[in-house]
Amino acid sequence: MEEKELFERYREAYDFLRKKNIYELRLYGRAVGVKRPTAKNKKNLIADIIKIGSKTEPIPEKSSRGAPPKTKGIFSYALNELVKLLSMAKDEWTEIKISKKELQRLGQLVFLGQYVMNWPRNYDDGISEYDNLADYIYRNLYIYETGVTDLGIIEGNEIADIRDRLYDTVKDYIELFENELWLDITAETIAEKYFPITDYDDEQIEKNRMSEKLLKNKITRSGRASVNDDFRDLFIEVENRICKNNA
């Protein structure tokens, strides 16, 4: 593939790399497996990084002689960003144009989605492909707010600030979600204990659904402490209503 065609096909990666100085490019070169990056000029080094990083050309065999490659100094996100750009050729990108206000709304939606998906996990055990995409959106929000033009120089604490501000704008939705989820699970669990659905009999299903609804109403009125109450009267009411409906 000709160099011009290579740069055009991987335009996003090329634009990312050409903003780097020669010393940064050498670090990227070592990270992807370019042989002797210090012996190349900037243009040739960028071409080799794209060729090898995109697997357009195979990684040269590494020599066992000498010191190990020096890659310390690259922001981990910057390297991940390069890998992502190299994994997608120009014809695989989809461009979406949105306003700055819509970008803020998108950030809120992404934060809520990431919160729900990672809720049962530790922060470091998130689903990487979604977390990486969320991080990319947060970095673009940071660019919008600050005017910074290079995603790779944005540090983790700055992204944390973006996340904190997004949380402040959606915390009411999160609280409502958590309360409703707790209420649903609690009522469903108690209803299943007293009126289990064992063979999907119509009457069993009706009793289970009715008891779940009555439980939600009672807990909503009386508060969470009421889950420790004796629900026998409530379930007698279910039996009475079923009998009345069948009369």
Secondary structure string (H, E, C) spanning 147-212 = CCCCHHHCCHHHHHHHHHHHHHHHHHHHHHHHHHHHHHHHHHHHHHHHCCCCCCCHHHHHHHHHHH
Query: pLDDT (tens digit, 9 = 90+) per residue, 5-16?
Result: 888 888 888 888
Lowest mean pLDDT among 34-38, 71-75, 94-98, 225-229: 71-75
**Average pLDDT estimate for 13-23:** 87
Long-range CB contacts for residues 150-158, cutoff 8 Å, separation at least 24: 150/19, 151/16, 151/77, 151/78, 151/81, 152/16, 152/75, 152/77, 152/78, 152/81, 152/82, 153/75, 153/78, 154/77, 155/75, 156/77
DSSP symbol at 82: H
Tokens at 49, concatenated: 């990084």
Query: pLDDT (tens digit, 9 = 90+) per residue, 78-110?
Result: 677 787 777 767 666 677 888 989 999 999 999
With contact defined as beta carbons under 8 Å apart, do 108 and 169 qualify?
Answer: yes
Tokens at 191, concatenated: 């209803």
**Average pLDDT estimate for 182-186:** 92
Predicted pLDDT of residue 121: 67
Looking at per-residue confidence, does 68 or 105 come out higher? 105
Predicted pLDDT of residue 107: 95
Predicted pLDDT of residue 123: 54
In residues, how long is the chain? Answer: 247
Reply yes or no on whether the pLDDT at 143 is more than 60.
yes
Predicted pLDDT of residue 70: 52
Looking at per-residue confidence, does 93 or 119 come out higher? 119
With contact defined as beta carbons under 8 Å apart, do 70 and 20 qualify?
Answer: no
Reply yes or no on whether the pLDDT at 167 is more than 80.
yes
Angle at 229 between CA 226 and CA 230, to 5 degrees: 150
Lowest mean pLDDT among 68-72, 138-142, 152-156: 68-72
Predicted pLDDT of residue 66: 47
Predicted pLDDT of residue 109: 96
3-state secondary structure of 140: helix
pLDDT range class, residue 236, cuts 50, 70, 90: confident
- What is the Cα–Cα distance from 187 to 151, expressed in whole angstroms? 46
Average predicted confidence (pLDDT) for the chain: 82
With contact defined as beta carbons under 8 Å apart, do 32 and 49 qualify?
Answer: yes
Rounded (10°) angle between helices 156-194 and 100-118: 50
**Average pLDDT estimate for 64-73:** 50
Tokens at 147, concatenated: 């005017």
Reply yes or no on whether the pLDDT at 116 is more than 90.
no
